[in-house]
Amino acid sequence: MKGRTFKHAMAAHCESGTLTALLNHAGLKISEPMVFGISGGIFFGYFESKKFPFPTFVVRSRPGQIRTALARRIGVKFAERRFRNPADGEKELDRLLSLQIPAACQTDFFYMNYLPGHVRVHINVHFVVVVEKRGEAYIISDCYSPELASLNRDSLMKARFAGGSFAPKGFLFYPVSVPEAIDFRKAVWKGIRSASFYMVKLPMPFLGVKGIRMFAQKVVDWPRLARDTEHLSHEIMKINIFLEDQGTGGAGFRFMYATFLREASELLNDRDLLEMSKRIMEIGDRWREISLFAARIGKRRDLGPDRLRELSGLIHERADAEEIFFKELLAMSKKKK
Amino acid sequence: MKEKEATVDYKEHQLVLYVEKKDGSYGPVRTGSYITKNYIDDFWYKRNNMEVEYGEKIRAGEISPIAYYMILEELTPSELAARVGISARKVKRHLMPRHFGTLTLDELMRYCGVFNIPLPNMFQEIVTDKKNVKIGMEKTDNPFFSVLRIRAARK
């Protein structure tokens, strides 16, 4: 892997895309949906916290979990480091680049100034691959950028050592060994089992399918939490961004998961998985309707109680559909593991 | 989602979506962002209104510049405190104009680092009634000193 030219490619999601690119660079041919599916990345969580200015939701597992679960299930080993001292973090990255080893870094998305201003927000869980150092600038392979990008040293340092929730602390990683033979059957079913378990078996009311229901119940109360109509419109339209634009591959990762199940069905020659992939694709289509509906009512400022109840109803329907889907998938994973 | 439904012609903001392709297979497709293409004007309209509203509040002495940038960058006092490295209680005080003056230069610099703005922006608003000028603040190697460059825009 050392010395080979790094191939930049866009991907749907920064963490799964970064991992895919690094593994491909290391000689392991694996697709982004496989990385995402094997790691059990699909999820749902609804959060209200002092750390967020407004209630929010996530559609994927905890940041970093895609890497750790994937490593465990396919046997890839990553070198990982965090730094107390930013100077040490910078030195280590420069050392790796001087050895022509591309490394993934955890960053605050806000400082990725090669991306359009309207998408950049403070979130400490953006992953990029740093490919090269040219003078005072770093060459970045960011899954959300069509081309390799250049980022100045100051911005990269700020991004790598930003404080707050999920502070990166200069975290970087790169693969050090890839197994010669991987038991994909076992890895796929483990990934499916864990994702299904987290979607339907967690007791917390804000996680998994229960989290989708909580989102449906709470969204009708959002007008009470918003500063004014324009703020409410912004937050409602963010439903679309979280589901479609913020690195999900569409429909809150449901389309990517469908692609994973389709690929797994071909790999394992399993007709049931093919059927399930079609079903989650349909579920995703309905999620996309929700995101388009949210964008429409947000722009029109059509945010009265009836419209929000309609939105809530659509989200409840998704909860019902996903509960049935993931229960069946969990049962299937127990039978076929 | 079918491939043709996903395809959006918008080069300024590209992304990858997973779709059902014409041959029935599932896979990635690079396309433009639907929401950016269709709703970006609305985003900037709301953002501009917010800047005007909170800019007026600063001028009226109702909030401090820290409150202004915190709201624009969608941070909470507790998240901002963790990023700046001070207590949330202290941040809440700094949101009020009467306590803004008690900030140390070091704290102010740390706030500027989080907001990614030059130090003078904490004390001023740059406005112009001329359309054909470009104003840009440039950093120097001295963290306490920046250059305000005003250029005539090309006609």
Query: DSSP letter at B145?
Result: -
A150 class by beta-carbon count within 10 Å (0-12 exposed, 13-18 middle, 19+ buried):
middle
Only one residue has tokens 């998961």, namely A257
Which domains are present in chain A?
Answer: 14-30+77-177 (3.90.70.10), 184-336 (no CATH)
Q: Tens digits of per-residue pLDDT, A261-293?
A: 999 999 999 999 999 999 999 999 999 999 999
Write the residue in A162, A237, A255 that is nearest to B18 by C-beta: A255
Residues of chain A with C-beta less than 8 angstroms from the C-beta of B78: 50-51
Distance CA A150, CA A223 (A): 41
Q: Which helix (H) or strand (E) holds B5?
A: helix B3-6
Instruction: Kindly state the average pLDDT of the residues A118-122.
Output: 93
The candidate with the shortest Cα–Cα distance to A245, out of B44, B10, B75, is: B10
Q: Cβ–Cβ of A143/B16 closer than 8 Å?
A: yes
A6-11 — which CB contacts under 8 Å span 24+ positions? Answer: A6/A102, A6/A129, A6/A131, A6/A141, A8/A131, A8/A141, A8/A147, A8/A148, A9/A143, A10/A143, A10/A144, A10/A145, A10/A146, A10/B14, A10/B15, A10/B16, A10/B30, A11/A143, A11/B16, A11/B28
Residue A262, chain B, CB below 8 Å: the answer is yes
The residues, ordered by sequence, that sit 6+ positions from A33 with a Cβ below 8 Å of its Cβ are A249, A256, A257, A259, A260, A263, B18
3-state secondary structure of B138: strand
Query: A48 vs A72, A99, A311, CA distance in Å?
Result: 31, 44, 19
Write the residue in B27, B46, B49 that is nearest to A259 by C-beta: B27
B123-127 — which CB contacts under 8 Å span 24+ positions? Answer: B123/B65, B125/B55, B125/B58, B125/B59
Distance from CA of B106 to the nearest CA of A (A): 16
Instruction: Kindly state the average pLDDT of the residues B95-99.
Output: 96
Instruction: Kindly state the average pLDDT of the residues B87-105.
Output: 96
Rg (CA), chain B: 21
Q: Tens digits of per-residue pLDDT, A159-200?
A: 999 999 999 999 999 999 999 999 999 999 999 999 999 999
**What integer pLDDT is reported at residue B152 of this predicted model?**
85
Write the residue in B33, B50, B79 that is nearest to A165 by C-beta: B79
pLDDT higher than 90, residue A337: no
**What integer pLDDT is reported at residue B130 of this predicted model?**
81
pLDDT higher than 90, residue B132: no
**What integer pLDDT is reported at residue B131 of this predicted model?**
80
Which domains are present in chain B?
Answer: 3-32 (no CATH), 40-128 (1.10.260.40)
In total, the C-beta contacts within 8 angstroms joining chain A to chain B are 128
**What integer pLDDT is reported at residue A288 of this predicted model?**
96
Query: B21 vs A238, A246, B18, CA distance in Å?
Result: 27, 22, 9
Residue A110, chain B, CB below 8 Å: the answer is yes
**What integer pLDDT is reported at residue A179 of this predicted model?**
95
Q: What value of ipTM does the predicted structure carry?
A: 0.95
Confidence of residue B155 (pLDDT cuts 50, 70, 90): low
Confidence of residue A3 (pLDDT cuts 50, 70, 90): low
CA A5 to chain centre: 26
